Amino acid sequence: MASEHFGPGLFKFLNDLAKNNNRDWFKANQDRYEGQVRAPALSFIEDFESHLHKISPYFVASAKKVGGSLFRIHRDVRFGKDKSPYKTSVGIQFRHEDGKGAHVPGFYLHLQPKEVFAAAGTWRPDTPTVTGIREAIVDDPAAWKKAVGGKRFRDTYELSGESLKRPPRGFDGDHAQIEDLKRKDFMGVCRMSQAAVCVGGFERELGKIFRAGSPLVKFLCDAGDAEF
């Protein structure tokens, strides 16, 4: 059964955009973007809210066109060498209600040709936040091991992201969890196929995937004194 939201047209649009990443092409294909990408994504976010709140009521599914769960397709080209104006992926983040940035604990869905994945955790938290996470690991290593070592988490996710080359300042380099303390990102990634996204009931399947990642997200919330 085909998905009520995403279809092959979304990935075809993103493929075509990657080959024609300029404003004239995008303007000429605006209707494709609206019909095959943005409208389905917003509909999915709206329908996913009930599944998200079964995991935790403190995470937000906002189907607003601007400033909601759907990342804008326009790239910030101010500081990078790559001046292509559009992202060639769809990003959907379900953030904690206490935070507005991309770095707070949450759940994420990434749709890109040949790169589809779900993620749970936090990406590149600021210095006070990452220090709090590291301190929480030191204070209760058993809780950390339980968060990322449970069977359901391990069967679903792989811990991902960048790490420091050296132990972080103020932390024992001989600590048993030193490799985790060196992490810059505290994030589990579950890779999927494009076909999986285009199947009916994908929102229920994604709910199961996010639920498997909830122990990590809860640990991060606890480290930051946020409700879960």
User: CA 134 to CA 204: how far, in whole Å?
Assistant: 33
What's the angle, vertex CA 184, arms to CA 116 and CA 136, rounded to 5? 115
* The pLDDT value given to residue 102: 55
Return the C-alpha torsion angle 62, 68, 70, 74, nearest 10: 170
Model confidence, pTM = 0.93
Q: What is the per-residue pLDDT across 103-150, written as a single tens digit (0 to 9) for each?
A: 679 999 999 999 999 999 999 999 999 999 999 999 999 999 999 999
Q: What is the per-residue pLDDT across 53-65, written as a single tens digit (0 to 9) for each?
A: 999 999 999 999 9
What's the angle, vertex CA 9, arms to CA 77 and CA 193, rounded to 5? 85
Three-class SS of residue 95? strand
With a cut of 70, list the residues of the chain below it in pLDDT. 1-2, 100-103
* The pLDDT value given to residue 1: 65
Tokens of 57: 């009521």
Secondary-structure breakdown of the chain: helix, strand, coil percentages, each rounded to the nearest 5 = 45, 15, 40
Amino acid at 128: P
* Contact in structure between 167 and 173 (CB atoms under 8 Å): yes
Which residues are paired to 70 by β-bridges?
92
The CATH code of the domain at 8-223 is: 3.30.930
